[in-house]
Amino acid sequence: MDLQQMRYAVALAETRNFTRAAERCSVVQSSLSHRIAGLERELGVRLFARSSRRVELTGAGEAFVAGARECLAAADRAAADAAAATGVIRGRLAVGVIVTTAAVDVPELLQRYRARHPQVRVVLRSGRSDDLVADIRAGELDIAFLGLPESRRPSGVETVVLDRDRHVLVVPAGHRFAGASRVTLAQIAGETFVDFMAGTPARAQSDEAFAAAGLARDVAYEAAVVELMTRLVARGLGVALMPSAFMRPLVAADPELALVPVTDGPRRVEYLAWSRFNPGPATRAVLDVLGVRSPARPGRRSDGEPERSTVD
């Protein structure tokens, strides 16, 4: 058994397709199939159930792939640590980001990071905050930019607060509230709303604010893409509550939309999160670019206080 066989098995487990797994590993399909079959013979178990149309992990395969991921991560870390000892940082940096990140210009950050560390392969994934935190804990992401309601804080990861923000009301330019100096949740509760998907931290920011005020509202349109949400608002189909720091630059360039401050509107906290389990050189390097000091001991936040928070 070798690391390459483990990489092939992990790729096949994630793609569930021999052709796509071979493309990911930059090998011909026959070579990947041969190595997987050899691995199964060596282990004496079937890792994958195959048919002409489907590939699925067996119970033994699930157990093997979980261990293989840990071995590959350890091997990558060892190689990166060895390179860092010579003053050169190599390896992989997996970054997670929510679609409404505003505290940091992520493309500009990655540009500066690549200029300093060109031998690090950076991968970027967008997603919801709770999923990104879980991926850090699972070792699938190195760092992530999150946005959460004030009532929630990430757990099991190191964090630093990047910004705190209050939502604004996004309305069509011709809406009766456009141009108002400010509104309250009670005034807008009767509107039809466009919002993020139910159950996500992004949606919870508004849901919790209305619940705290004892108000109900009608969310008729749910979406995961900000551009779709703003287009729905611009067509007069509803209004939306969105983080002000993220929306102001967008609305400034869009005459079809207007922003209105909300006196008791939802509040959001943006976090930078990273693994509290021995972050590698590539992760420590991006923290340096951001001016964030990595804590000396696992299990403590960057401000030195114990982390006791939770994410639902």
Domain 89-162+269-290 carries which CATH code? 3.40.190.10
Contact 164, 269 (CB under 8 A): yes
pLDDT, residue 87, reads 65
Phi, psi of 217 (to 5 degrees): -145, 165
* pLDDT tens, per residue, the chain with 312 residues: 889 999 999 999 999 999 989 988 888 999 999 999 999 999 999 999 988 788 999 999 999 999 998 888 788 777 767 766 666 788 889 999 999 999 999 999 999 999 999 999 999 999 999 999 999 998 889 999 999 999 899 989 999 999 999 999 999 999 999 999 999 999 999 999 999 999 999 999 999 999 999 999 999 999 999 999 999 999 999 999 999 999 999 999 899 999 999 999 999 999 999 988 778 889 999 999 998 876 543 434 444 333 333 333
Mention the CATH class of domain 3-83.
mainly alpha
Q: Which residue has the tokens 């021995």?
A: 278
Give start-end residues of each CATH 3.40.190.10 domain in the chain.
Answer: 89-162+269-290, 165-266
**CA 138 to CA 156: how far, in whole Å?**
10
Which helix (H) or strand (E) segment holds residue 248: the answer is helix 244-252
> May I ask the CATH class of domain 165-266?
alpha beta
Which ranges in the chain are annotated with CATH 1.10.10.10? 3-83
